Amino acid sequence: MALANTFPTAASQKIANLWNTDHAAADEGNFFLATNPTIGTGIAMTTSVVDDAGGGATHAQTRPTMLITNNWAVNDPKRCRIYLRYLKMSNITQAPSSATTGLHYSFRGDLNPSKYTSGGTLIVPVNINMDTSNTSEAVIYFGAITAVAGTANGRLLSRGVIAYGLQIIGDQWIFTFGSTSMPTNVLGATALKQVTVPCPPIILGPSTCVTLDLWEANLSAAPAFEFELGYIERPAGQ
């Protein structure tokens, strides 16, 4: 026996996603992209960052590789949150030398809008929708950054190992934020690696920040990266 259509067609509404991707955010002009200023020219992180401690020149918490600050004021009626979507990093011009142990990472959030001290490259993000002039309030630095230590409000948001063994030029890492998939990466000791690292959703409210910290024991030469950061900036809860 055939089943009757149980969805009434009169005086009813049906809601379905047109895009199960980021197309809707891009269409409304709220998806932004941050990249290297010059294609083919890597930006180096700080040399000899060997652990995740804070307070010194060789400690990742005060020598992060990336720092993102949501520059919206907390009392601005138009204030938006920043939703990280992905970060792609390509090791193109300088591989870490004398570093054969695990390459570690952490993402740390804080309520400090003045965490940045000096160094790194200031990145100007662009809107990927060519039909809008919306601009971003994110302040992004990448490279050999010096930052102040975390406050009591700081939070560890993600932490893990990207890869073990010697890193080589051509390696590429992709951090995804809020993805439900957990890909498996097969890594050789000396082979080219493309590694996907699933992370939890990371959301930055006004006047908050997040850092990407990278470290590896015996890191005597800092790798240089091209990178691509995609994120959404829009009012909370909408």
Which residues have C-beta within 8 Å of that of residue 238, sequence separation ≥ 6?
none
Q: Which pLDDT tens digit goes with each residue over 53-73?
A: 887 888 899 999 999 999 999
- Is 224 part of a structural domain of the chain? yes
Query: What are the residue ranges of helices labelled H in 60-108?
Result: none
Asked if pLDDT for residue 7 goes beyond 80, the answer is: no
Residue type for position 87: L
Among 9-13, 171-175, 176-180, 188-192, the range with the most confident prediction by mean pLDDT is: 171-175
User: pLDDT at position 93, please?
Assistant: 75
- The mean pLDDT of 34-41, rounded to a whole number, is 92
d(CA 143, CA 36) in angstroms, rounded, equals 10
Per the domain annotation, does 47 fall within a domain? Answer: yes
In the numeric block, the tokens 């000396």 are attached to 190
Which residue, among 45, 80, 20, 44, has the nearest Cα to 231 in the 3D structure?
80
Tokens representing residue 84 in the block: 């990280």
pTM of the model: 0.88
What's the domain range around 87? 30-234
Count of domains forming the chain: 1
Could you tell me how far CA 126 lies from the centroid of its own chain?
A: 15
What is the torsional sign of CA 125, 128, 132, 134? negative
Domain-embedded: residue 117: yes
Decide if pLDDT at 158 tops 60: yes
Amino acid 13: pLDDT:
72
Query: Which pLDDT belongs to residue 175?
Result: 95
Determine contact, residues 209/84, Cβ cutoff 8 Å: no
Asked, for residue 41, whether it belongs to a domain, the answer is: yes
Measured between alpha carbons, how far is 85 from 199 in angstroms, rounded to an integer? 10
What mean pLDDT is predicted for residues 216-233? 87
